[in-house]
Structure formats: structure tokens, C-alpha cells
């Protein structure tokens, strides 16, 4: 008997909604299913891939048999082809779209590949329950992403009260009344929900505003899969793109960072900044591990991990709209130990301003 076709699932959602967290949960609980992951991140420093696989680029085999590669828009097709090779023995492929990608373009590319070994397995849309109302107000165009989802994951339920959570779910249903909605914290979604998505039928497409695949393929002229500044295709957009207004500032340092100044940066991010993520190193006795830092709309979260064989260095990506990039860069440069006169000594108390945001790593 021939091998079953491999579902290719797209995980999308606004910046910081919890896509990587959900993917990590899937990989941790894969339980014999071999999952291939493509991370289509924003910007050239691929923090998401670093967080998933522990290193920066190319394909990485994980110990549980899963594979992870980081790709830009142009690399998706060849990376998919690589994962589809029989020797990869992959059961399912999940593509994490960058937080500002147009999932339609990605879906169109997948369905356009016309490879008998794979099939489009649906769009999982991750919503940040704590920021959804504000994000939709500021970026109404994201409803167009949510409306074509096959499954909506309302994540970060732990951050909101019950009535707020119901209001978010109601909003989701108004935008997409056919996709099942799963309410979660920390992206805890059953793998079975992703690998066996509800089939699209003429019936359920007709019942709602959810588009059929044919409509998707024909009706849309968008060309781009967001990656980096101005990474557009040949234009012709009929809708505003999230990444038309978003930009990122990337920063790396071989020298350790000052924890107190980093905490100030995370807690009081530059104007226009929406999302900060990074892997950072401090030169503070007892705290020389790898620190993974996140800030999303004012929430700071820090995890501590081992470096493994990696070189100790810091990479930070700051994403936002209308940011003064030079100012952001100046502020980032000022975080490096030695940037200010007299601060070459490790700041042992300053580390508390970082560790107070620590969450237990899974």
C-alpha cells in the first residue's frame, strides 16, 4: 500500500500569541509521531528556530525523531520538499508562519505545490486572549486571517478573567463561525486536533464566511509571505498587510548584557515596540546559563536554559510599528556590559530584575 499523504498544517497568529509555545508543546508530546517543523520567522535572526531546536539555521533533527528547519519565504518550498523525502519518514509537517505573515500566501503556495506526497492540512490560528481586543482594534485586517482558520486556539487563558475570555471567544465566533475554538494556556493543544483537521466540505464553506480553497486560490492576489522588512512579492495587494507597517531591529552581542538595563528595556520598551524576544548571556556568577527573554505588550517572561554546545552570545529582536530604529539600536547598545562608564563589574543584584520574571522551563 502507498504511504498516506502527509498533512501540512499552518500555524499562524499575531506576534507573540503563542505559536512557538504551541509548537513546542506538540513536539514534546509527539509520542511516536514524527513531526517536521518549518519556522518562517520574521527577520534574519531566527529566534523561534533557536528556541525550538536550540540552534539557528538549517534542518535540525530532534531527539524524538522530529525535525525542525528555519526558512525564509523563498525557502519554504524546498524545505517542504526536503521533509517530504521518504527517508525523512515524517508523519506531519507544521509550518509556523511569522507573526505578521499573510497565511493565505503560504496556504496558496502549499496547495500550489501539487505534490502527491502531501496535502494541505488546515490553518490553526492562535489568538492571544489578553491582547486580542486591542490587536483587532489596531489591526482590523487580522480578521481576514482568522476567518480562514480551521481551528482557532484562544491562548493565554490564564491571563484573563472568565468574562473577558468569553468575550474573546464570542469575537472569534463572529469572525469565523465554523472553526472549532480551543481555549488553552501555554499552547496545550492535543496533537490529534491538528493532524486530523475538520475536512472542508462544500457544505460547511457555504454556511459561513470561511473561504473554500478554490476561493482562496483564485480570489486573492497577495504574493508575499512576510519575512523581514519590505520582503514583499510583486505587490498588487488588495488589503493592507500587517508587515507594511511593522519593522524589526535585530541586535547581537558577543559581550554579556547588563541584566538591570535589559530588564528596564523589556519592562519599558521603546515607543512603537510590540514584541521583544531574545536569547541572552549575562556574566554574573551563578547566572551564566542561557536566558530566553520575551516581552509582549508589556508582559515580560524569562526562562533559564543550558547552553549545550552553543557559544555564549546574545541575540535580541525588537518588533514594532513606527519605532525609531536608531533610538532602539542605541538603547540596545547601551545594555551591553561596558557600554556605560564604570559598569564593567558584574551586577549581582541587577540579576534580580531579570530573575523575578523567571518562569519554570518545561
Ligand X SMILES: Nc1nc2c(ncn2[C@@H]2O[C@H](COP(=O)(O)OP(=O)(O)OP(=O)(O)O)[C@@H](O)[C@H]2O)c(=O)[nH]1
Q: Rule CB under 6 A: is residue 16 a binding residue for ligand X?
A: yes
For residues 236, 102, 247, 353, the Cα torsion angle rounded to the nearest 10 degrees is 170
Using DSSP bridges, classify how beta strands 151-155 and 35-40 pair: parallel, antiparallel or unpaired.
Answer: unpaired
294 binds ligand X (CB under 6 A): yes
* Binding of ligand X by 13 (CB under 6 A): yes
Binding to ligand X, residues 79-108 (CB under 6 A) = 99
Of 162-170, 180-188, 304-312, 320-328, the window that binds ligand X (rule: CB under 6 A) is 180-188
Number of separate helices (H) and strands (E) present in the chain: 14, 13
Member of 145, 156, 261, 287 binding ligand X (CB under 6 A): 156
Neighbours of 33 (CB within 10 A): 17
Decide whether 91 or 96 has the Cβ nearer to ligand X.
96
**The three grid cell numbers given for residue 231, joined into one nine-digit string:** 520582503
**In the complex with ligand X, which residue's Cβ is closer, 13 or 270?**
13
Is 158 an interacting residue with respect to ligand X (CB under 6 A)? yes
State the Cα–Cα distance between residues 146 and 201, nearest whole angstrom. Answer: 18
Q: How far is residue 84's CA from residue 353's CA, in Å, rounded to a whole number?
A: 46
Binding-site member from 155, 176, 248, 253 for ligand X (CB under 6 A):
155
Q: Does 48 bind ligand X (CB under 6 A)?
A: yes
Binding mask 184-223 for ligand X (x = CB under 6 A): -xxx------------------------------------
Q: Does 15 bind ligand X (CB under 6 A)?
A: yes
Per the structure block, which three cell numbers stand in for 265?
528595556
Nearest to 55 by CA among 305, 349, 328: 305
Chain centroid to CA 16: how far? 6
Segment 232 to 291, residues that bind ligand X, using CB under 6 A: 275, 277
| Distance, CA of 14 to CA of 320 (rounded, Å) | 12
With CB under 6 A as the contact rule, which of the stretches 54-62, 156-164, 232-240, 341-349 interacts with ligand X? 156-164
Closer CB to ligand X, 25 or 232, in the complex: 25
Distance CA 259, CA 337 (A): 9
CB 222 within 8 A of CB 102: yes
What pairs with residue 304 in β-bridges? 291
Figure out which of the listed residues 6, 9, 17, 351 binds ligand X, where binding follows CB under 6 A.
17
Please report whether residue 19 would count as binding ligand X according to CB under 6 A: yes
Say how far apart CA 112 and CA 270 lie, in whole Å: 41
- CB of 115 or CB of 186, closer to ligand X: 186
Residues 33 and 94 sit within 8 Å (Cβ to Cβ): no
The minimum distance between CB 300 and ligand X, in angstroms, equals 8
Give the nearer residue to ligand X in terms of CB position, either 167 or 185.
185
Q: Which residues sit at the interface with ligand X, rule CB under 6 A? A: 13, 15-21, 48, 99, 155-156, 158-159, 185-187, 275, 277, 294, 296, 301
Amino acid at each position: 500500500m502507498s504511504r498516506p499523504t502527509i498533512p501540512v498544517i499552518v500555524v499562524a497568529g499575531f506576534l507573540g500569541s503563542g505559536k512557538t509555545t504551541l509548537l513546542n508543546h506538540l513536539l514534546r508530546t509527539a509520542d511516536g509521531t514524527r513531526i517536521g517543523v518549518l519556522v518562517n520567522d520574521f527577520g534574519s535572526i531566527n529566534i523561534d528556530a533557536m528556541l525550538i531546536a536550540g540552534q539557528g539555521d538549517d534542518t535540525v533533527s530532534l531527539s524524538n525523531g522530529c525535525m525542525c528547519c528555519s526558512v525564509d519565504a523563498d525557502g519554504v518550498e524546498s524545505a517542504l520538499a526536503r521533509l517530504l523525502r521518504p527517508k525523512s519518514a515524517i508523519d506531519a509537517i507544521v509550518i509556523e508562519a511569522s507573526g505578521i505573515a499573510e497565511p493565505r500566501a503560504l496556504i496558496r503556495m502549499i496547495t500550489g505545490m501539487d505534490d502527491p506526497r502531501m496535502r494541505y492540512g488546515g490553518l490553526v490560528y492562535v489568538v492571544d486572549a489578553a491582547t486580542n481586543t486591542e490587536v483587532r482594534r489596531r489591526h482590523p485586517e487580522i480578521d481576514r486571517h482568522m476567518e480562514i482558520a480551521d481551528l482557532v486556539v484562544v491562548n493565554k487563558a490564564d491571563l484573563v478573567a472568565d468574562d473577558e475570555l468569553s468575550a474573546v471567544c464570542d469575537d472569534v465566533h463572529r469572525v469565523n463561525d465554523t472553526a472549532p475554538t480551543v481555549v488553552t494556556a501555554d499552547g496545550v493543544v492535543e496533537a490529534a486536533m491538528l493532524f486530523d483537521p475538520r475536512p472542508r466540505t462544500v457544505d460547511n464553506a457555504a454556511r459561513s464566511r470561511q473561504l473554500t480553497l478554490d476561493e482562496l486560490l483564485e480570489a486573492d492576489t497577495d504574493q508575499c509571505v512576510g519575512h523581514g522588512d519590505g520582503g514583499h512579492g510583486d505587490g498588487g495587494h488588495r488589503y493592507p498587510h500587517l508587515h507594511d507597517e511593522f519593522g524589526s531591529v535585530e541586535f547581537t552581542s558577543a559581550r554579556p548584557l547588563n541584566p538591570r538595563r535589559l530588564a528596564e528595556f523589556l519592562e519599558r520598551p521603546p515607543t512603537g515596540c510590540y514584541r521583544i524576544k531574545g536569547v541572552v548571556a549575562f556574566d554574573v556568577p551563578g547566572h551564566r546559563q542561557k536566558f530566553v527573554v520575551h516581552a509582549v505588550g508589556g508582559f515580560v517572561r524569562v526562562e533559564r536554559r543550558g547552553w549545550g554546545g552553543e557559544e555564549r552570545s546574545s541575540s535580541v529582536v525588537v518588533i514594532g510599528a513606527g519605532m525609531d530604529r536608531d533610538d532602539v539600536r542605541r538603547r540596545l547598545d547601551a545594555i551591553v556590559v561596558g557600554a556605560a562608564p564604570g559598569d564593567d563589574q558584574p551586577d549581582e543584584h541587577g540579576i534580580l530584575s531579570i530573575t523575578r520574571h523567571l518562569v519554570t522551563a518545561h
